[in-house]
A = this chain, B = another copy of it.
Amino acid sequence: MNVALLAGGFGGARFALALAETVGAANLTVIGNVGDDVEVLGLHVSPDLDSVLYTLAGVFDRERGWGRADETWDALETVAELGGESWFRLGDRDLGLHLARTDALRRGETLSAITQRFADAFGVESRLVPATDDRLRTWVETPAGSFPFQEWFVKRGHRDDVDGVRFEGADSARAGAGAVEALESADAILLAPSNPFVSIQPILAVAEIRATIENRTAPAVAVSPLIGGRTVKGPADRMLERMAGGTTPAHVAAVYEGLIDALVFDEADADDASAVAAHGVRPIVTRTLMDAPQARRGVAEAALSVALASR
């Protein structure tokens, strides 16, 4: 069974791991968000892609929720001592990856090629594809002004309410190498329990990817990032409240209108099943907290059940 997953960072990485464990790593292609990529100290940093990469490679720092485990911080400490840009926290091992990636980009290698090469080097058997090799950047519109994603998320601690998001460069962005083929040949297309607005939408903003999902033959299933109207991590609940008008599974289903056939959501929100169905989306209720290997595989199995049933 071949699975194509659209994923952001933390929740996306966790769910990617669950899928790899469930269908076999080699049968999974992850199409990763690059809208939150950022240039720090002249380095090209891809936080979401790297969270997936580190998680699938088993070197992700789960306590911290980003970056690598067993990390040291000597380089950035020195940068700070010398008055350099140090607002974006980069560990030494993480920096090594950014240095290697940035140098490869400078030499003309595509982000797709580099990402796959790094996944191979880490012994990751899944395919990992950036949504696009072109420059695509998420901006958030807030009452305090318009900010590049990381400036809002990290520098301002995502304290500003978000009225809208836009994806600079999306109009001309082509899909990353193999993304369309993976979606077309997948037995199931999955949307991870990532932030719909700033993790999944920037992937869908690539016209080739959106069109391929709109014209799918395989079922597409999203996993809601909400449990009882709240997110496990991050500002998705506040954003749904403000931009979609609420934080029920039906509000998530509305955001993905026309793009999904089913929505997996938590038992805590079981009462909303009929409201989800009203959007023409099949409700799948299960426990969605991925707090242990068994639990996360349960979420993967629930999401895959639709595809299994349709075979």
Contacts and interface: CB of A to CB of B under 8 A. Distances in A.
Contacts of A93: 74-75, 77-78
A75 B282 CA distance: 47
Contacts of A121: 81-83
A97 interface: yes
13 contacts: A41-B102, A42-B99, A42-B102, A75-B75, A75-B93, A75-B99, A77-B93, A78-B96, A82-B96, A82-B100, A82-B121, A83-B100, A84-B100
A64 interface: no
Mostly, the A contact residues are helix
B72 A97 contact: no
Copies of this protein, total: 2
Contacts of A43: 99
A78 B100 contact: yes
Contacts of A95: 75, 78, 92, 95, 99
Interface in A84-117: 84-85, 91-97, 99-104, 106, 117
A51 to B, nearest CB: 16
A118 interface: yes
A34 interface: no
A128 to B, nearest CB: 14
A212 to B, nearest CB: 30
Q: Which of A96, A104, A117 has the most CB of B within 10 A?
A: A96
A306 interface: no
Given A95-B95, A99-B41, A118 B82 contact: yes
A43 B41 CA distance: 10
B99 A84 contact: yes
Contacts of A96: 74-79, 81-82, 84
Interface in A30-44: 41-43
Q: Kindly state the interface size class of chain A when it binds its partner.
A: 20 to 34
Given A83-B117, A83-B121, A97-B82, A75 B92 contact: yes
Contacts of A117: 82-83
Contacts of A78: 92-97, 100
Interface in A50-84: 71-72, 74-79, 81-84
A42 B117 CA distance: 20
Contacts of A99: 41-43, 75, 79, 84, 95
Contact of A42 (B42, B81, B97, B118): B42
Contacts of A106: 42
Contacts of A85: 103
B41 A103 contact: yes
A280 B61 CA distance: 67
A104 B103 CA distance: 18
A101 B81 CA distance: 12
Nearest to A99: B41
A58 to B, nearest CB: 14
Given A74-B93, A75-B75, A92-B72, A100 B42 contact: no
